[in-house]
Amino acid sequence: MNISHLTLDSHTLFNSQRPSFSFLRHTPRNVVVCSAKPVAPPSPPPKLTTAQSSDGRIGSLSQVSGVLGCQWGDEGKGKLVDILAQHFEIVARCQGGANAGHTIYNSEGKKFALHLVPSGILNEDTLCVIGNGVVVHLPGLFKEIDNLESNGVSCKGRILISDRAHLLFDFHQEVDGLREAELAKSFIGTTKRGIGPCYASKANRNGIRVSDLRHMDTFPQKLDVLLSDAASRFKDFKYGPEMLKEEVEKYKRFAERLEPFIADTVHVMNDAITQKKKILVEGGQATMLDIDFGTYPFVTSSSPSAGGICTGLGIAPRIVGDLIGVVKAYTTRVGSGPFPTEILGSGGDLLRFAGQEFGTTTGRPRRCGWLDIVALKYSCQINGFSSLNLTKLDVLSDLDEIKLGVSYKHADGTPIKSFPSDLRLLEQLEVEYETLPGWKSDISKIRNYSDLPNVARQYVERIEELVGVPIHYIGVGPGRDALIFK
């Protein structure tokens, strides 16, 4: 096909005349291709209704369960959290900030883009907790709450914010941009939402916490220290007495509005655990962006892997039970950094538009590639996932064939046993692929696993076989009901 004449918009790509993806068969960079081992078509399992499957799966989850990203973020965690929240009394965010954008839909199909408020907010009986590990930008939070309220979603008495959470100021965002400009060609590719600079203030021990808003007698001095530090570091950051005065007055108003939301959430969470209430933890970003385990330095500034649950909420490790890893049926990432299975050129472009791969928070186009099994196995090892949620399987419906990046090799053919920390090695390694057939049919209306085409089930089960973790949830569209329980 001649893709130069193709209009890449969501209407074209999601109606019955979806363009063919046959040209995605080209080999990505640094590739060694092999065929998948022959797999007999799987026998259909006993057919269960969606209600039967969901009740069994969700009902068996532990008292404290978590939903975490497996890749570089944007996997679709918010949708699963929204669905599971109907069976949990508390949904809690443990880390990150407004750079974590989760898109969910209510029962009428209305779209909500959430950034700080946990994705359980659409379920009216759910208490939403923003834990101490989150950095909170109050103007953004209030805008989010106002938008929810104006669309009929009550937030009063349903959101608690940790008094230990750090405040993210507008100047942190300005510093974020100045820092990126300073790095020039080696920039990180942040969202410029001030997340890194705010966590840096926290680590420097001159950050300002939510509880400091209760002490306006000392707040101006603390803010002056922060602003003066930024001014001394960046010559283009302009700071003077008038700026401090304006910020203090603004935060006096914020403090009054925020007071009903502030709580000792460490006590709230542990008291809820004692009362046997069910708690669902919602992770932001994902394991491959973890400050310790991700592709450093092209990472976020918090711990979006399992360890961040305990440090970000103040709950004991022994309390945490089932963890569900969310993974796309392919791989995406935003910003800079190595991406071994990336599809370059027009193939990546078309996959991007078919999956609407643009950031919820920034609108940035995401880089797209084949599912990276090596990175997925690494993520599963770090987090100890009990099950996986495979999202956006429907996006692959028009492909003639699909590739799985199953292993890495050095340029000389020597196998690489695990996901390497060395970025130079990540950029130079070769990926060995397995090629599986596509199914060339729309699966977005399917709700039972046994109704999927045989080759689609073959793809799902091959991932399970390679990773060693069962896939219990399969996303086949953006809507709340577009989920298969396996």
pLDDT tens for 172-229 read 988 887 877 766 655 565 667 889 999 999 999 999 999 999 999 999 999 999 999 8
**Domain of residue 460, CATH code:** 3.90.170.10
**74 among known catalytic residues:** yes
Q: Which H or E element spans position 433?
A: strand 430-437
Q: Read off the pLDDT of each residue in 256-270 and give the average, rounded to a whole number.
A: 98
What integer pLDDT is reported at residue 363 of this predicted model?
78
**Domain of residue 296, CATH code:** 3.40.440.10
- Binding residue per annotation — 152? no
Do 337 and 236 lie in one domain? The reply is: no
- Binding residue per annotation — 476? yes
Do 306 and 334 lie in one domain? The reply is: no
Model-level pTM? Answer: 0.87
What integer pLDDT is reported at residue 46 of this predicted model?
46
pLDDT tens for 447-483 read 999 999 999 999 999 999 999 999 999 999 988 899 9
**102 among known catalytic residues:** yes
Q: Is residue 267 part of a domain?
A: yes
DSSP 420: -
- Binding residue per annotation — 393? yes
What integer pLDDT is reported at residue 81 of this predicted model?
93
Inter-axis angle of helices 195-204 and 219-233, to 10 degrees? 110
**Domain of residue 247, CATH code:** 1.10.300.10
Write down how long the chain is.
Answer: 486
Instruction: Provide the total of helices (H) and of strands (E) in the chain, helices listed first.
Output: 14, 21
Q: Report the percent of the chain where pLDDT is more than 90.
A: 69
- Binding residue per annotation — 306? no
Do 270 and 369 lie in one domain? The reply is: no
Instruction: Read off the tokens for 476.
Output: 């086949």
Catalytic residue among 74, 82, 212, 290: 74
Catalytic residue among 202, 278, 472, 486: 202
Q: Is residue 144 part of a domain?
A: yes
Q: Is residue 97 part of a domain?
A: yes
Instruction: Provide the domain limits for residue 335.
Output: 3-47+326-485
Q: State the Cα–Cα distance between residues 121 and 178, nearest whole angstrom.
A: 34
Inter-axis angle of helices 241-258 and 219-233, to 10 degrees? 130
- Binding residue per annotation — 75? yes
Q: Is 90 left (phi over 0), alpha (psi -120 to 50) or beta?
A: beta
- Binding residue per annotation — 347? no
Q: Is residue 345 part of a domain?
A: yes
Are 260 and 209 contacting, i.e. CB atoms less than 8 angstroms apart?
no
Q: Report the percent of the chain where pLDDT is more than 70.
A: 86
Do 238 and 371 lie in one domain? The reply is: no
What integer pLDDT is reported at residue 53 of this predicted model?
56
**202 among known catalytic residues:** yes
Q: State the Cα–Cα distance between residues 378 and 364, nearest whole angstrom.
A: 26
Q: State the Cα–Cα distance between residues 349 and 368, nearest whole angstrom.
A: 8
